[in-house]
């Protein structure tokens, strides 16, 4: 807490002071021995005339009990000499370690006896220390709570306009060192107005230009600028665009700061004044740089996340197989990743032809929603293919061998699976033989709209270690002509606050209503209608027999 320029102390959930910094002791005229261990409300909180405050009348105490960040001003703390001092304060939850949470209190005491700062050194954006800290805390919270770069830029402009500027301009360095003007936004009263005509691709960054934006994009320094900087002969294409920006917006004073990431410069942030009188000063730059650092951290995280998604998308294309072409049978598959995870996860499907001409069909779910789960899924699927191809045995025996191999040969801890054999009988009808290892049951829908779950053949999920104490059953069902068999993962029927029975009934009703649709349309509409809000991955494999 010594790094904090203002007074600061930490209290536990009961309101007792656990730690205090030297700035707080100096402002309060007290020693650490007289502060630590005391109830902060009883020790410090006072009315304007020094009288103790009842908890119901104390704004800080009420905010403390609410367990959220809050701020206030024009309140009073008791000084060690018996007087009271006016304070502005900010409180925020603070982790004490383990499961315990306390509260951090930061306060500032304006000293009316201090000589006024010289006008030349006074910031154009006058903020108290508490207001500055509150703004930075809000910036960190809002920008780091999203992993979308465009949303980060939108939140940044919302934070800065009209609080600190009339205009905000964000220039980002994208792939291959190209510059893109992502946002030119004006505070138009209480609304924000985007100047899309000024946004778009920018010329390349000049290597040696001394102009303000060029220096910021190279990460050299922050700079104050105005239209006069760009009235002369341009030294680069960026200077031409900057001249156009100042002309179009009427900005008379601007502050331009780099957006520096952990490894590279990510772009530049420009704050401009057009309607507000006065110019930015050097005293404003530290605050803008602090905001720029937080914005760069959020953008860096968003870019790393996008790269991970791109890697996962490529991995998905190689992991999820194409369906075999089988005369008389129609097959479609769909895979939808969870929106807040990588583009591939533990849900998977497979279908392939066996040596005896039967079709093997599998649907499964490995614990997890990330690349590690996807890797385990690939290992398990390959083992299943090898066993199913080499051992002409019932589905239950193939899955039993797979269960034996999971722990020694893969990184999978637990998984569910339906493994089935689909074959034509002597009378040219199709027959399904399957076993179920803890997975949601397949759904059989006739062409007339009768829909029933195939609940037989159910056994333990994979990876429990109990295979020696249980047997895996097989189940058999005849598939009517023109019927549709739906294999799916639990993301299609699970939703927060709803039971599995409700989800399965919803899926059954929609599948029955769509029975007459062509298979591709049936699959797409079933996903659209039956899928809940999208908290989990969904894999869906549909098979339709000849009419």
pLDDT in tens, 339-382: 654 455 678 899 999 999 999 999 999 886 666 777 788 889 89
Same domain, 511 and 377: yes
User: Is 1 inside a domain boundary?
Assistant: no
Buried b (16+ CB within 10 A) or exposed e, 76-103: bbbbeeeebbebbbbbbeeeeeeeeebb
Same domain, 347 and 199: no
CATH number of the domain residue 151 falls in = 3.30.450.40
User: Is 72 inside a domain boundary?
Assistant: yes
Q: How many other CB atoms are found less than 10 A from the CB of residue 188? A: 12
- Model pLDDT, residue 319: 66
41-66: pLDDT as tens digits? 999 998 876 778 877 778 788 788 87
Among 273, 308, 343, residue at a domain's last position: 308
Task: Answer positive or negative: Cα dihedral of 337, 341, 347, 349.
Answer: positive
Share of the chain above pLDDT 70, in %: 92
User: Is 314 inside a domain boundary?
Assistant: no
User: What's the farthest any 2 CA atoms get from each other in the chain?
Assistant: 102
Q: Are 268 and 213 in contact (CB under 8 A)?
A: yes
Q: How far apart are CA 418 and CA 459, in angstroms?
A: 10
Q: Are 304 and 514 in contact (CB under 8 A)?
A: no
> Of 277-286, 314-323, 409-418, which range is least confident?
314-323
- Model pLDDT, residue 340: 56
Among 244, 279, 308, residue at a domain's last position: 308
The whole domain housing 343 covers 320-544
Is residue 214 over pLDDT 60?
yes
- 54 φ, ψ (degrees, to nearest 5): -70, 150
Strand partners, 260: 265
Measured at the CA of 507, the angle between CA 506 and CA 512, to 5 degrees, comes to 100
| Residue carrying structure tokens 């599998």 | 362
Q: How far apart are CA 325 and CA 314, in angstroms?
A: 24
Is residue 497 left, alpha or beta, with left meaning phi > 0 and alpha meaning psi from -120 to 50? left
User: Is 117 inside a domain boundary?
Assistant: no
Tell me the two tokens of residue 186.
Answer: 């004006």
Measured at the CA of 144, the angle between CA 140 and CA 147, to 5 degrees, comes to 160
371-404: pLDDT as tens digits? 677 778 888 989 999 999 998 889 999 999 999 9
Q: What total of structural domains would you count in the chain?
A: 3
Q: Report in angstroms the alpha-carbon separations of 371 from 57, 68, 305, 449.
A: 53, 35, 13, 39
User: Is 44 inside a domain boundary?
Assistant: yes
Same domain, 368 and 398: yes
Same domain, 47 and 156: no
Q: How far apart are CA 135 and CA 146, in angstroms?
A: 18
- Model pLDDT, residue 524: 95
Same domain, 508 and 364: yes
CATH number of the domain residue 51 falls in = 3.30.450.20
Same domain, 142 and 283: yes
User: Is 119 inside a domain boundary?
Assistant: no
Q: How far apart are CA 540 and CA 525, in angstroms?
A: 12
DSSP 192: E
Residue ranges in 218-284 assigned as alpha helix (H): 237-249
CATH number of the domain residue 445 falls in = 3.60.40.10
Same domain, 248 and 225: yes
Among 282, 308, 334, residue at a domain's last position: 308
Same domain, 163 and 186: yes
Same domain, 163 and 103: no
User: Is 313 inside a domain boundary?
Assistant: no
Q: How many other CB atoms are found less than 10 A from the CB of residue 517? A: 14
Per-residue pLDDT, averaged over 293-299, amounts to 94
Q: Report in angstroms the alpha-carbon separations of 479 from 355, 410, 419.
A: 22, 35, 16
250-284: pLDDT as tens digits? 999 999 999 998 888 999 999 999 988 889 998 89
What is the value of pTM for the model shown?
0.54
User: Is 74 inside a domain boundary?
Assistant: yes
- Mean pLDDT, the chain, rounded, equals 88
> Of 9-13, 59-63, 242-246, which range is least confident?
59-63
Same domain, 165 and 298: yes
507-534: pLDDT as tens digits? 999 999 999 999 999 999 999 998 876 5
Per-residue pLDDT, averaged over 153-178, amounts to 93
Same domain, 299 and 376: no
Same domain, 191 and 283: yes
Q: How far apart are CA 143 and CA 156, in angstroms?
A: 7
Q: Are 173 and 264 in contact (CB under 8 A)?
A: yes
Tell me the two tokens of residue 428.
Answer: 């040219």
């Amino acid at each position: 807490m010594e790094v904090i320029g203002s007074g600061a102390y930490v209290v536990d959930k009961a309101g007792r002071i656990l730690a205090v910094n030297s700035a707080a002791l100096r402002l309060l005229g007290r020693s650490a021995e007289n502060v630590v261990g005391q109830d902060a409300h009883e020790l410090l909180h006072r009315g304007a005339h020094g009288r103790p405050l009842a908890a119901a009348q104390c704004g800080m105490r009420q905010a403390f009990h609410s367990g959220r960040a809050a701020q206030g001003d024009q309140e009073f703390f008791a000084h060690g000499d018996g007087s009271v001092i006016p304070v502005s304060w900010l409180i925020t939850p603070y982790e004490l370690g383990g499961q315990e949470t306390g509260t951090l209190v930061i306060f500032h005491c304006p000293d009316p006896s201090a000589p006024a700062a010289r006008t030349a050194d006074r910031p154009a954006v006058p903020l108290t220390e508490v207001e500055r800290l509150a703004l930075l805390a809000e910036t960190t919270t809002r920008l780091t709570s999203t992993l979308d770069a465009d949303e980060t830029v939108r939140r940044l402009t919302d934070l800065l306009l009209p609080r600190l500027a009339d205009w905000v301009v964000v220039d980002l360095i994208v792939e291959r060192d190209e510059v893109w003007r992502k946002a030119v936004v004006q505070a138009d009263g209480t609304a924000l107005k985007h100047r899309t005509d000024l946004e778009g691709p920018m010329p390349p960054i000049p290597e040696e230009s001394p102009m303000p934006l060029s220096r910021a994009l190279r990460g050299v320094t922050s700079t104050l600028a105005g239209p006069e900087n760009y009235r002369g002969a341009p030294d680069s294409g960026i200077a031409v665009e900057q001249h156009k920006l100042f002309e179009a917006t009427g900005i008379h004073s601007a502050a331009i700061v780099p957006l520096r990431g952990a490894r590279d410069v990510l772009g530049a942030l420009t704050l401009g004044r057009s309607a507000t009188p006065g110019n930015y000063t050097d005293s404003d730059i530290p605050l803008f740089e602090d905001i720029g650092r937080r914005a760069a951290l959020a953008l860096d995280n968003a870019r790393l996340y996008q790269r991970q998604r791109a890697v996962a998308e490529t991995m998905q294309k190689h992991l999820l197989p194409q369906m075999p072409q089988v005369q008389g049978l129609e097959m479609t598959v769909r895979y939808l990743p969870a929106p807040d995870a990588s583009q591939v996860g533990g849900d998977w499907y497979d279908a392939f032809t066996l040596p005896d001409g039967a079709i093997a069909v599998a649907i499964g779910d490995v614990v997890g929603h990330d690349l590690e789960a996807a890797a385990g899924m690939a290992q398990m699927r390959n083992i299943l293919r090898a066993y199913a191809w080499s051992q002409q045995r019932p589905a239950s025996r193939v899955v039993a061998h797979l269960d034996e191999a999971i722990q020694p040969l893969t990184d999978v801890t637990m998984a569910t699976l339906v493994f089935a054999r689909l074959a034509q009988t002597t009378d040219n009808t199709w027959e399904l033989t399957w076993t179920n290892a803890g997975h949601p049951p397949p759904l059989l829908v006739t062409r007339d709209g009768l829909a029933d779950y195939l609940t037989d053949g159910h056994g333990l999920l994979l990876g429990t270690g109990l295979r020696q104490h249980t047997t895996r059953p097989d189940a058999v069902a005849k598939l009517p002509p023109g019927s549709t068999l739906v294999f799916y993962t639990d993301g299609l029927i699970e939703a927060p606050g709803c039971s599995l029975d409700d989800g399965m009934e919803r899926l059954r009703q929609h599948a029955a209503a769509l029975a007459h649709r062509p298979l591709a349309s049936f699959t797409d509409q079933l996903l659209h209608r039956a899928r809940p809000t999208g908290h989990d991955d969904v894999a869906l494999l549909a098979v339709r027999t000849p009419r």
